[in-house]
Amino acid sequence: MAINADGVFEGGGVKGIGLVGAVAGIEEAGYEFENMAGTSVGAIVAALLAVDYKAEVLP
């Protein structure tokens, strides 16, 4: 059973690739994002998660 969580992702250009690792760790811990928001690259990650992308398929 997944634990619901809210995700807020910051921008940062190339550093945004680090968000993928963070999302992977959160998913491995059994959490599932229910609400998401972000700016810049964080908004892109939030949008991909909103349409059910998982960390394993993110760039």
pLDDT confidence of residue 10 = 94
- 58: pLDDT confidence band, cut at 50, 70 and 90? confident
- 1: pLDDT confidence band, cut at 50, 70 and 90? confident
- How many structural domains does the chain have? 1
Residue 37 in any domain: the answer is yes
Q: Give the whole-number percent of the chain exceeding pLDDT 70.
A: 98
Which residues, other chains included, contact 10 with Cβ-Cβ below 8 Å and sequence gap of 6+? 38, 39, 40, 42
Expressed as residue numbers, the domain containing 27 is: 6-48
Q: What is the mean pLDDT of residues 38-54?
A: 94
pLDDT confidence of residue 3 = 95
Residue 55 in any domain: the answer is no
